[in-house]
Structure 1
Amino acid sequence: MTEQARLSALDALRGLAIFAMVLVNNPGSWQAIYAPLKHAQWHGITPTDVIFPAFIFVMGITIAIHLPRELAVSASKVALLARATKRALTLILLGWLLFLFWVNTGDPAFNWLDDRLLSLRFGGVLPRLGMVYWLTVVIVLMVSWRWLGVTAIMLLGVYWGAMALIPYTDSSGQRYQGLWEFGNSLAAFIDHHVLGAGHVYYANASPFAFDPEGLLSTLPAVVSCLTGVWVGRYVLVLHGCPNKLMSLALAGICGGFALATVTPLNKALWSPTFVMVTSGILTVMFWLAVLYERKRGQVRPGHPLLVAGTNSIAFFMLSGVLARLLLMIRVDDVSLKSQFYHALEPLLWSPQAASLAFALVFTVVCYYPVKLMYNNNFFWRV
């Protein structure tokens, strides 16, 4: 398979992930989400829960392709680390910028300085991508390819051991250990005391406020990325045996579900079983994309998945800005988003269908500026 075909398969998979993320993140109403687009309430897994790991997994494959090239050109690990640091900081700052781009125009008492800037949420999708990217590059530069899989398993073991064995206490002195509950885990305890209750997504969780893209749970997210690195190198560089790859993927899926009785599947805590199952699923998806390329040729230029995948960060940022504008702009004290959603309700058979229709229209509207960028050969590289 040609290098161009390899990259088009990867871009197409990334495009599928960004389409799914924009669709899931923008329902017409959070009270009427179309059922297949819901996350698991807490423990468990749905197809929607695989979307974010897909981004991280694909990022790992990209690292496997590009990092050796960059190292061959620069011949300096220090230079590569500096470049990786710049990219990571850019992703983090873009995530914070999206958070700050918000004014509650429906609340006269809203104070942007107090309610946004001084309450900055440190976590989020882009900050996690930045941290995971940086840590993965550091590991790949420090560890030989032969030991990459072992390193990933060790990191997952360290995370599980910390979550299961390290005790912690709440403000009243009550001691806990080994919990994977909403607001009550070692990961939540660390977020609460290091990030602060005013800087996380679940600020009102009890006994500990926490973030689904928090500090400790970044560690297993790095393992998801390292899995992508290993799979990318095995498939695209070493041309490894597909039967062996599929056996490992199926073993991860089955093993993850089997161990879920001991350590639950949980996206917010990025549990080891969640890593196993999602990595297995994404390995199968990636191999199917590569197989399609080998049988049918590369994804044709201009294909929507290719368009979205080659400008995925621009797609994400555009969707985030537009979503906020639709909420901030109000007519007769009703946001544009609510007006559009309620205009769709009488035309469809249920609130959930109207919510899905809004999400589909929103995704298409965000796609066309990205399509224009693609047609003009403008690709925003972070």
Structure 2
Amino acid sequence: MSELKNRYLSLDVFRGLDVALMIVVNSPGNGATTFAPLNHASWNGFTLTDLVFPTFLFVVGNSMSFSMKKYESMGSGAVFKKVFKRTAIIFLLGFLMYWFPFFDDGHLKPFAETRIFGVLQRIALCYMFASIILHFVKSKTAIWLSLIFLVAYHLILIGFGDLTLTGNAVLKLDEWLIGPKHMYHGEGMAFDPEGLLSTLPAIVNVIIGFLAGKFIQKNGQNFETIAKLMMVGFALVFAGLAWDLLLPINKKLWTSSFVLLTCGIDLVAIATLIYFLDMKKTKGWSYFFEVFGKNTLFIYLLSELFVITLFSIDANGSSLYRWIAENIFISWSGGYMGSLLFALWIMLTCWAVGYFMDKKGIYVKV
């Protein structure tokens, strides 16, 4: 969802930074020996890794502030058609990614056991709802709707369950709607951190990203813009920490306090990048991340399929993923550093593909 023309360098670099970090945290050589900031909080709480996905949604909103300009001259039917088509493609890509490599021991993997919701699926749904809202209502109304979404979600969480892994409303809806076999099992049980209900507050991350992008375009790259982004960012961080007293910051439930905290951090981060990249022109280091930022969705998919493929290939009774991590990285550098170096290798391999694509002028859009 990238518009390569008329876009600020800071936005591309921000996207790229996030994708690079996303690949690193998703590809540890050994999950048991991973540095703490590169792990998600076990339940309540917050780590650097917890910031990655909401930032991805925030930068989706940034991109929409450019791409949706052309919707203004389109009829409602054409807008719905374009939005629904893009939503369907991204959702399907996410579903196929979880189904990949499609076969197991020579047999087609059963659809009944394939995860339905996930990262790309959440991006698709958030994009769809945010696009419709932002096309048909004014910015002030979108802000009020965002607040309503966050308050409503808070009330739903406390009204239809508790805030534990086994008793929350997100789990209950997904179990009723799609069943445990179609859910993520990474917590040792069926629970999807990208479930349907918790997509509601995640829409707000996209809306705030859109409004930030629109504000930057309208007001330009200057100290006043940076100051206002910083002030709103710190205000949201404070509001998120205050809301944490009533509803804990929790990435896996995507609580309302988590939304405010992450949006606040993202606003401060984008303001900082505008200062250094677009104003001070200190961009000798930025091209590395631009490569990721110009083919964001493709490189993310590539990284996931690369990891899945390595896990699928047998190597002396283990997966090729484990073999490479243990024998090439961890064996000489230790558990924690080796795990990180392996993740960096995955990231740099994907970067090399992105670099080749950029040099050839290949930009994959959905």
1:188-247: per-residue Cα shift (whole Å, max 9, x none)?
1101111211101038867xx331000110000001111111111122224474433322
CA 1:312–1:192 in 2, change beyond 3 Å: closer, same or farther?
A: same
Counterpart code for 2:29:
G
Give % identity. Answer: 28
Q: TM-score, normalised by structure 1?
A: 0.88
Tell me if 1:360 matches 2:344: yes
Asked if 2 retains the 8 angstrom alpha-carbon contact of 1:28 and 1:355, the reply is yes
Match in the other structure for 1:113: 109
Match in the other structure for 1:156: 150
Match in the other structure for 1:172: none
Asked if 2 retains the 8 angstrom alpha-carbon contact of 1:163 and 1:186, the reply is yes
Match of 1:237 among 218, 222, 228: 218
Q: Post-superposition shift, 1:184?
A: 1.3
SS in 1 for 2:8: helix
1:71-129: per-residue Cα shift (whole Å, max 9, x none)?
24x43232122111111111111111111113686xx6x95433xx2212111111110
1:325-363: per-residue Cα shift (whole Å, max 9, x none)?
111111332221121112122311x21111111111111
Q: Post-superposition shift, 1:63?
A: 1.3
Match of 1:214 among 183, 186, 195: 195
Match in the other structure for 2:276: 292
Match in the other structure for 2:330: 345
Distance in 2, matches of 1:312 and 1:370, equals 9
Q: For 1:144-183, list aligned pairs within 5 A.
A: 144-165=138-159, 167=160, 177=161, 179-183=162-166
Q: Post-superposition shift, 1:261?
A: 2.1
SS in 2 for 1:118: helix
Q: TM-score, normalised by structure 2?
A: 0.92
Counterpart code for 2:317:
D
Residue-pair matches, total: 359
Counterpart code for 2:41:
A
1:140-199: per-residue Cα shift (whole Å, max 9, x none)?
12211232211111111111121122x3xxxxxxxxx4x111121111110111121110
Match of 2:136 among 133, 139, 142: 142
Counterpart code for 1:26:
S
Tell me if 1:199 matches 2:182: yes
SS in 2 for 1:202: coil
SS in 2 for 1:211: coil
Distance in 2, matches of 1:43 and 1:150, equals 27
Structure 1 gaps, min length 5 = 168-176
Counterpart code for 1:120:
T
Which of the two has higher C-alpha Rg? Answer: 1
Q: For 1:1-80, list aligned pairs within 5 A.
A: 6-68=7-69, 70-72=70-72, 74-80=73-79
Asked if 2 retains the 8 angstrom alpha-carbon contact of 1:183 and 1:205, the reply is no
Counterpart code for 1:330:
D
Range moving further from structure 2, 236-245 or 57-66: 236-245
Counterpart code for 1:334:
S
Counterpart code for 2:182:
H
Range moving further from structure 2, 96-105 or 145-154: 96-105
1:290-326: per-residue Cα shift (whole Å, max 9, x none)?
2223323385798111111100111111111111111
Match of 2:123 among 98, 123, 129: 129
Q: Post-superposition shift, 1:275?
A: 0.3
Asked if 1 retains the 8 angstrom alpha-carbon contact of 2:9 and 2:278, the reply is no
Asked if 2 retains the 8 angstrom alpha-carbon contact of 1:56 and 1:225, the reply is yes
Range moving further from structure 2, 322-331 or 239-248: 239-248
Distance in 1, matches of 2:294 and 2:227, equals 30
Asked if 1 retains the 8 angstrom alpha-carbon contact of 2:60 and 2:206, the reply is yes
Q: Post-superposition shift, 1:257?
A: 1.3
Counterpart code for 2:71:
L
Distance in 1, matches of 2:11 and 2:175, equals 37
CA 1:204–1:17 in 2, change beyond 3 Å: closer, same or farther?
A: closer
SS in 2 for 1:380: coil
Asked if 2 retains the 8 angstrom alpha-carbon contact of 1:310 and 1:379, the reply is yes
Tell me if 1:304 matches 2:294: no
Q: Post-superposition shift, 1:36?
A: 2.2
Asked if 2 retains the 8 angstrom alpha-carbon contact of 1:8 and 1:298, the reply is no
CA RMSD of aligned residues (A): 2.2
Tell me if 1:252 matches 2:236: yes
Q: Post-superposition shift, 1:5?
A: 6.9
SS in 2 for 1:235: helix
Asked if 2 retains the 8 angstrom alpha-carbon contact of 1:5 and 1:293, the reply is no
Q: Post-superposition shift, 1:272?
A: 0.4
Counterpart code for 1:281:
I
Structure 2 gaps, min length 5 = none
Tell me if 1:268 matches 2:252: yes
Distance in 1, matches of 2:312 and 2:103, equals 6
Match in the other structure for 1:96: 95
Asked if 2 retains the 8 angstrom alpha-carbon contact of 1:21 and 1:51, the reply is yes
